[in-house]
Amino acid sequence: MYSLIMSDSVKIVFGDKSYEFPVVKGSKNERAININALRAETGLITIDPGYKNSGSCLSEITYLNGEKGELSYRGYSIEDLTKNAGFLEVSYLLIFGFLPSEKQLEKFQIDIHKESLVDEDLKVILKSFPRSAHPMGALASLTSALTAFDPDSVDVESEDEIYSAVVNLMAKLPILCAWTYRKVKGLPLNYADRSLSFEDNIAQMFFRHPTEKYKPNKIVNNALNKLLILHADHEQNCSTSTVRIVGSSHAGLFASVSAGISALWGPLHGGANQAVIEMLEKIKNDGGDIEKYILKAKDKKDSFRLMGFGHRVYKNFDPRAKIIKKAADEVLNDLGVTDPVLEIAKSLEKLALTDEYFVKRKLYPNVDFYSGIIYRALGIPTQMFTVMFALGRLPGWIAQWWEMRKNNEPIGRPRQIFTGKTDLKFVPISKR
């Protein structure tokens, strides 16, 4: 079988027959073969473990170019957005598709504040977790529990119902994230403060000490704002695809996001930011011998991987890693914090980028390589790093879920090729 890309179609010859399939083209000239009719016409399906070559949807939300290391949300570059916008503004852009006016943003913030209380019984659920529970497990459960307290499914045709579900989740997830942090630290839970901006309120719920008057720390809040924006969306990554596929069965938004939180937890995905710090700590405690760990990362017999390195799509620098690396220097400097693992991370990066193994495989630092160093400087425990990732990714998950539902996409149900045994006859247990 071979195929020929024409301008807007592909000819596939299989056996003694030839078939033609349309090619779709995106705003940045990306192309895909539309194989909607493939099985009906040829009896063939495609196989692509990990979907490395398969697109699941057409989307207007996020564009990334892995070869060039570019990332933009609704047409705005992340460099532009992290320099000029607030996280709530970027959330609005991702979810509704345009940058809000001052009035629209103010209304969004007021409507979110109105919903910024969670049912007190959620505290009972939080209390039932052991202090040692991983906060991502607690967050996934608490997010799913929101459905129990707000069971109305969302009529996606109704703009009002979607808006209220969006506002509800934008208000409640930050509270749940802050409560998982307070639980890990053994601190009393904070409530939202409606006099603060959305971004400052997040910091307040995390860091306000019950015995002191809360004073926003500009350095901390700016760093948090930048990190949340950089994590806000990333097209069809593992957790976003999970949110979409769960939502495609018409499960609710809260249940879909709860599934996305569980997918993000994995160390190959959002859990990598925790794994990076654990790796850097291990290298530090092992005498800082980075050559040894570069060799381990290259050794196929060794399960060790250079966490925070490599990416399914970026075969160049992850543009987020560049911004976070610069911010790490600034934040630690502004806070007067030194962290030996930052120097180890920089030396690892330098060595890896000149090593044939990494160069040949186009393995560069990704978003998770430096982010944990900033979270740590902000006093956030390692186990909480992926919760911070989930908090940032919330608007992206919402936007992608809504786009999937608005486009009335069919339930996600991949096919397979069966390779197991066939036509066996049952043998009674007495004869086995």
Active site residues: 311, 368
User: Which one, 219 or 295, has the nearer CB to ligand SDX?
Assistant: 295
User: Which one, 78 or 192, has the nearer CB to ligand SDX?
Assistant: 78
Smallest distance from the beta carbon of 361 to ligand SDX, in angstroms?
Answer: 4
Smallest distance from the beta carbon of 231 to ligand SDX, in angstroms?
Answer: 7
Query: Which residue, judged by CB position, is nearest to ligand SDX in the bound state?
Result: 310
Residues 271 and 383 sit within 8 Å (Cβ to Cβ): no
Residues 181 and 380 sit within 8 Å (Cβ to Cβ): yes
Pairing of strands 9-14, 70-73: unpaired
d(CA 24, CA 8): 7
For residue 253, give Cα distances in angstroms to 162, 189, 208, 402.
9, 25, 30, 9
Smallest distance from the beta carbon of 101 to ligand SDX, in angstroms?
Answer: 29
Residues 277 and 341 sit within 8 Å (Cβ to Cβ): yes
Q: What is the dihedral of CA 114, 93, 208, 169, to 10 degrees?
A: 50
d(CA 126, CA 130): 9
> Of 81, 109, 330, whose CA–CA distance to 226 is shortest?
81
Which residues have a Cβ under 8 Å from the Cβ of 300 and sit 6 or more positions away? none
Residues that bind ligand SDX (CB under 6 A): 50, 234, 237, 268-270, 272, 297, 305-313, 361, 363, 366-368
> Of 329, 418, 379, whose CA–CA distance to 182 is shortest?
379
Residue with the two structure tokens 């403060």: 193
Q: What are phi and psi of 64, to 5 degrees?
A: -135, 140
| The residue type at 375 | Y
Find the angle CA(357)-CA(359)-CA(360) to the nearest 5 degrees: 70
User: Which one, 215 or 301, has the nearer CB to ligand SDX?
Assistant: 301
User: Which one, 201 or 262, has the nearer CB to ligand SDX?
Assistant: 262
User: Which one, 155 or 299, has the nearer CB to ligand SDX?
Assistant: 299
Smallest distance from the beta carbon of 351 to ligand SDX, in angstroms?
Answer: 13
